[in-house]
Amino acid sequence: MKIAIVILNWNGKKLLEQFLPSVVNFSLRDATIYLADNASTDASIGYVKEFFPAVKIVENTINGGYAKGYNDALRSIEADIYCLLNSDIEVTENWLKPIIKVFKSDKKTAIIQPKLLDFNDKTKFEYAGAAGGFIDLFGYPYCRGRIFNHLETDKAQFNDETDILWASGACLFIRSNVYHLLDGLDEDYFAHQEEIDLCWRAKNCGYKIKYVGTSTVYHIGGATLQETNPQKTFLNFRNSLFNILKNIPKKLLLFVLISRLILDGIAGIKFILEFRPVHTLAILKAHLSFYKNFFKIFKKRRKVNKNQEYKLFNSIVWQYFVLGRKKFKDLR
């Protein structure tokens, strides 16, 4: 099974200096490593060529963000499995073996995520994907090990292998034929939550998305956009609405969109009360951008699995903020 580990880079020389050594040391035996460069203007490419000649380089002509960057690069990379790997991830010894084993044993498994722990506190799960992602009725993403900003301590409670709804784009393995069948990542997202859309589309086509907890990586997170950056708020809220419009069954679509209008409004008020009005403005801009692109995104709806389960009371907002359930095991 031919594995291609593809690291997307834009002016990330410092991150490559810190994290590329672990990827090379623990991966070259089982995979080919690629640097997909998004038209960097720093010394990234020169650094990799000098110190890691085994790493192959694909140079994109523009910085098209996460989605376009990977789509452009993966057109020229031949492999059975792609690993989309952030440049701020430290991998561990033998991290690939459990992943390869699952792909070989289950042909319907199209996407896999390993355990994501926090690089700065390796006892904690990491925000971006933790132990695998899910979506509540209203399109809000959450993870095993991370609900909103609450991170659980890793006590081997998620050292399992299980089906999930989405895998983190920080470290996402996907069969190349499925990636191209789905036309890759949606470039209208630019960045944030496009991996959720990709996984959701795969799920709607009958493929499995799995979490494999016997493989571990450590992620810094926020290396591109910090959590306090209103642009990140804008992208997360808008792209979450894109996910709903593209992937939720039609019978629930209007109900969910109206509910999100209300819930996002409440989130905007919460930001004002926290003296963070720039994030309220970001939510408003997210909705305006969503309405502007409504029909364009709606046309992208393909096969939506009518049997997909959406439980009416499975609201992560209600359970977290009202009922105070902070851990995945406490959710109902």
Spatial distance between the Cα atoms of 32 and 15, rounded to a whole number of angstroms = 20
Q: Are 77 and 185 members of one domain?
A: yes
Give domain status of residue 245, yes or no: yes
Averaged pLDDT for residues 4-11: 98
Q: Are 191 and 274 members of one domain?
A: no
Using the 3D structure, point to which of 165, 188, 219 is the last residue of a domain. 219
Q: Are 208 and 250 members of one domain?
A: no
Give domain status of residue 78, yes or no: yes
Q: Are 270 and 295 members of one domain?
A: yes
The predicted structure's pLDDT at residue 302: 76
- Beta bridge partners, 57, equal 35
Averaged pLDDT for residues 166-185: 97
Report pLDDT digits (tens) over 178-227: 999 999 999 999 889 999 999 999 999 999 999 999 999 999 975 455 56
CATH code of residue 64: 3.90.550.10
Spatial distance between the Cα atoms of 150 and 50, rounded to a whole number of angstroms = 41
**DSSP summary character for residue 284:** H
**Tokens 């903020």 -> residue:** 321
- SS3 call for 55: coil
Burial 91-108, CB ≥16 within 10 A → b, else e: beeebbebbbebbeeeee
Q: Are 211 and 301 members of one domain?
A: no
Report pLDDT digits (tens) over 39-54: 999 999 999 999 999 9
State pTM to two decimals: 0.94
Q: Are 92 and 192 members of one domain?
A: yes
Number of domains the chain is built from: 2
Q: Are 90 and 234 members of one domain?
A: no
Q: Are 133 and 174 members of one domain?
A: yes
Give domain status of residue 55, yes or no: yes
pLDDT band for position 228 (50/70/90)?
A: confident
Give domain status of residue 224, yes or no: no
Q: Are 185 and 241 members of one domain?
A: no
Spatial distance between the Cα atoms of 152 and 145, rounded to a whole number of angstroms = 5
Averaged pLDDT for residues 319-328: 94
Report pLDDT digits (tens) over 10-38: 999 999 999 999 999 999 999 999 999 99
Residues spanned by the domain of 101: 3-219
Give domain status of residue 176, yes or no: yes
Using the 3D structure, point to which of 219, 247, 271 is the last residue of a domain. 219
DSSP-assigned states of every residue in 81-102: EEEEE-TTEEE-TT-HHHHHHH
Give domain status of residue 225, yes or no: no
Report pLDDT digits (tens) over 83-135: 999 999 999 999 999 999 999 999 999 999 999 999 999 999 999 999 999 99
In whole angstroms, how far apart are CA 46 and each of 13, 17, 224, 284, 326?
9, 12, 21, 42, 45
Q: Are 47 and 146 members of one domain?
A: yes
Spatial distance between the Cα atoms of 184 and 71, rounded to a whole number of angstroms = 6
The predicted structure's pLDDT at residue 310: 60
Cα pseudo-dihedral 198, 199, 203, 209, rounded to 10 = 150
The predicted structure's pLDDT at residue 221: 75
The predicted structure's pLDDT at residue 94: 97
Using the 3D structure, point to which of 156, 184, 219 is the last residue of a domain. 219
Contact in structure between 145 and 324 (CB atoms under 8 Å)? no
Question: Angle at CA 130, nearest 5°, toward 120 and 102?
Answer: 120
Burial 50-71, CB ≥16 within 10 A → b, else e: eebeebbebebeeebbbbbbbb
The predicted structure's pLDDT at residue 102: 98
Q: What percent of the chain has pLDDT over 90?
A: 90
Q: Are 141 and 253 members of one domain?
A: no
Q: Are 126 and 21 members of one domain?
A: yes
Q: Decide if pLDDT at 246 tops 70.
A: yes
